[in-house]
């Protein structure tokens, strides 16, 4: 996206109420979020010419278009790999706009995860599907590696062994996210901070992961409006310019079970994304005022800080000590509370928070924000963004 940088912007954001039981279908949730995003931008459904979503979203683009009352579509796309797709949807929307295929593209993700399909539950079928993924999973599922928590626990144990990190280091991430969520009225854990002692006392899910190392399951939806910078300047809010967007997969990638690499204590796919973001944007980690880090599990936050270059290998545990990633720390991370504290909408709510930070309208606003880095799901082929002020 080198030649496309700074030509497009996120001009509108919208979300449903995040809950444990929405009482609405995923299609209704998607439509509600899309309406909200268009209203935020000052646009109507007839202005939309493209839609981008996740392969795993239950809602086909044409169904959303029909539900919302959109007209003709000239572009629609789906991005694979779960939460790794979040920033990838914005990348694909930006490419469509910059190339002239579409003028206004909406990205969306809707989830009935808590009251419907539970992503965190074991599913023995994943090891028997007649696909390349089913083949690789057949090596893991019979031995109990059936959930994302179990997969990440393998990574976390190796990371602890190599770098001397402890469960308390992971817990500091959870404490920070819940502190931010406690002052965010939209967050599921609003007014419910935790202490490090409470983290340590929470039950084991898959050692070394405690319950409070794992993100919540949520119902809800988020939508984003992407258009050209020129058009965005004439809309309701100042634009969050897409300074860079990237996708990446590392060598030897196997979904969240890349156990056959020579070293599994890092996230090389995020390194691929990070190198592209810094090169395409012309920025460096020192130019970032706040970061939206995909926090489905706490150990991956530490590794991402290292892959992005905010600290050296194995140094994240020291970087986050003494509130280093809290609002008043050296690098505020997830001021909205992230997926551990606000909601788990496959990272799309994090992109919305990045837009609010650029606008200066977040409930937990970081002072002097000019550039925000955003990451998507980790352990899988992933994606990232840098959003900047106009």
The 8-class DSSP code of residue 136 comes to: H
In terms of DSSP H, where are the helices of the chain?
26-41, 61-68, 86-98, 132-137, 148-163, 167-182, 196-201, 229-232, 268-281, 298-307, 316-319, 338-341, 348-359
Q: Is 100 exposed, middle or buried (0-12, 13-18, 19+ CB in 10 A)?
A: exposed
What domains appear along the chain, each with residue ranges and CATH number?
2-116+219-389 (3.40.47.10)
Q: CA–CA separation, 34 vs 97, rounded Å? A: 18
Q: What is the DSSP letter of 77?
A: E
344 is catalytic: yes
User: What does the alpha-carbon distance between residue 296 and residue 5 come to, in Å, rounded to a whole number?
Assistant: 28
Q: Which residue out of 75, 81, 163, 344 is catalytically annotated?
A: 344
CA pair distance 324, 322, nearest whole angstrom: 6
Distances (CA, A) of 80 to 15, 256, 341: 21, 13, 25
Catalytic residue among 75, 159, 163, 294: 294
Query: pLDDT tens track of the chain, all 390 residues?
Result: 667 789 999 999 999 999 888 888 999 999 999 999 999 999 999 999 999 999 989 999 999 999 999 999 999 999 999 999 999 999 999 999 999 999 999 999 999 876 656 565 555 566 566 788 788 778 888 888 888 999 999 999 999 999 999 999 999 999 999 999 999 999 999 999 999 999 999 999 999 999 999 998 899 999 999 999 999 999 999 999 999 999 999 998 887 878 888 888 899 999 999 999 999 999 999 999 999 999 999 999 999 999 999 999 999 999 999 999 999 999 999 999 999 999 999 999 999 999 999 999 999 999 999 999 999 999 999 999 999 999
């Amino acid at each position: 996206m080198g030649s496309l940088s700074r030509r497009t912007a996120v001009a509108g954001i919208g979300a449903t109420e995040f809950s444990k039981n929405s009482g609405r279908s995923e299609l209704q949730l998607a439509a509600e979020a899309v309406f909200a995003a268009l209203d935020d931008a000052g646009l109507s459904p007839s202005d939309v010419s493209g839609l981008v979503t996740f392969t795993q979203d239950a809602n086909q683009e044409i169904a959303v278009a029909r539900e919302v009352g959109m007209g003709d579509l000239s572009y629609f796309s789906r991005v694979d790999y779960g939460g790794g797709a979040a920033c990838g949807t914005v990348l694909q929307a930006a490419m469509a706009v910059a190339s002239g295929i579409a003028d206004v593209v909406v990205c969306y993700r809707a989830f009935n995860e808590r009251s419907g399909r539970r992503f965190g539950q074991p599913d023995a079928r994943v090891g028997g599907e007649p696909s390349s993924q089913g083949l690789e999973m057949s090596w893991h599922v019979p031995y109990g590696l059936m959930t994302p928590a179990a997969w990440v626990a393998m990574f976390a144990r190796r990371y602890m062994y190599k770098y001397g990190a402890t469960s308390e280091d992971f817990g500091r991430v959870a404490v920070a996210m819940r502190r931010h969520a406690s002052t965010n009225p939209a967050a599921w854990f609003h007014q419910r901070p935790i202490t490090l002692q409470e983290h340590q006392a929470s039950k084991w899910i898959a050692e070394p992961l405690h319950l409070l190392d794992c993100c919540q399951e949520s119902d809800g939806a988020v939508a984003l409006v992407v258009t050209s910078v020129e058009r965005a300047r004439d809309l309701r809010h100042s634009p969050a310019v897409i300074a860079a967007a990237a996708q990446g997969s590392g060598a030897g990638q196997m979904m969240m079970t890349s156990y056959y690499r020579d070293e599994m204590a890092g996230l090389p796919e995020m390194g691929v994304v990070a190198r592209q973001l810094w090169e395409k944007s012309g920025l460096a980690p020192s130019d970032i005022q706040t970061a939206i880090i995909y926090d489905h599990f706490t150990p991956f936050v530490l590794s991402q800080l290292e892959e992005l270059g905010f600290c050296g290998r194995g140094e994240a545990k020291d970087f986050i000590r003494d509130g280093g990633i809290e609002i008043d720390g050296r690098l505020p991370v997830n001021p909205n509370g992230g997926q551990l504290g606000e909601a788990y909408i496959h990272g799309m709510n994090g992109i919305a928070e990045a837009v609010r930070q650029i606008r200066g309208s977040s409930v937990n606003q970081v002072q002097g924000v000019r550039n925000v880095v955003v990451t998507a799901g980790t352990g899988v082929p992933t994606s990232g963004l840098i959003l900047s002020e106009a």
